Structure 1
Amino acid sequence: MSLLFNETSLGNIIITLGSILLLLVLIKQFAWEQLTGVFKEREQKISQDIDGAETARRQAEELADKRQLELANARQEAGQIIEGAKETGKVQGNKIVEQAHDEAKRLKEQAHQEIAQSKIEAMASVKNDISDLTVSLTEKLLMTKLDAKAQSELVDQYLNQLGEK
């Protein structure tokens, strides 16, 4: 029985091997190019997808780098604008303070001039009043003959009138 089993098994193996070889020859003859073509197309598509993904990744990195650079430039420009505005503000502030000092100085000088002018006018007015009183006193003294006491009272009276004016 073992001989039968061995002969049958050997026959089956030969038939199976022959069938497999025939199948391989037929596949090679009729379908191998189509199968390998599908695999090659799939390989090329995967390769292109990988290349496209790599290109897209590089472009994304370049774009991110470019955006970072633009953001840094924008921040720098904003800083420069702020610094310029601060500097302009300081200059304008100093200019306004200087103008205020100049205006205060001018007003002070004008006030001094007005005070001096008022003083001159007051002195002129006092001189006129004194000269008028002196003339009046002299006229009264000449008209009346007074003793020392009466003369002193008359001078005091005129001085009091001068204080009231």
Structure 2
Amino acid sequence: MADMEQPEEIQNQTEEIPVEESEVTDEAPTVEEQLQSAISERDENQDRFLRSQAELDNVRKRHQKEMELLRQYAAAPFIQDLLPALDNLKRAVDAAESADQVGDLKQGVEMVAKQLLDVLSKHNVTPIDALGKPFDPNLHEALQQMPSDEHPPMTVIQELEQGFILNDRVVRPTKVIVSSGPAEG
């Protein structure tokens, strides 16, 4: 069987087709060039991935910081609504002091005012101590200046409305009267 000859059609199919060398070498990249291209593409993808990761981390941190600030100062509107009631209670205490037989009223109103101050304190709200202190525009709102022989210029001589701080931020400045120095003769 080995001596059997194949028909000419089959022999023609198995013969190699001649190819010119110029066709193969100019267009097909070498294995080394393919490897360098793959390494370069890998490095670019790795760089893009690392940059995306860093940007995602920055967005997460920024979002976390914004949420913390939002939580920290979320009570500010509540406090601003509560402060006028505290002011009215203080005015009632002042009015009760000038009346004769209102000791019980005064005591009750003082208890309510203390209770409100305790509620504010529980929520990290502290009153601004202004009386006798130098005027600070970050903490005080000057409504008037008055001459005073007892106080140096720009010293708070009277509080008209107490201010408050939530954590480290002024919720409402203290409304004050400030000394303009000694009265001119």
Q: Which TM-score tier does this pair reach, normalised by the shorter chain?
A: 0.3 to 0.5
Q: Higher RCO, 1 or 2 (CA under 8 Å, sep at least 6)?
A: 2
* Structure ranking higher in strand proportion: 2
User: Which protein is bigger by CA-based radius of gyration?
Assistant: 1
Q: TM-score, normalised by structure 2?
A: 0.39
Q: TM-score, normalised by structure 1?
A: 0.43
* Structure ranking higher in helix proportion: 1
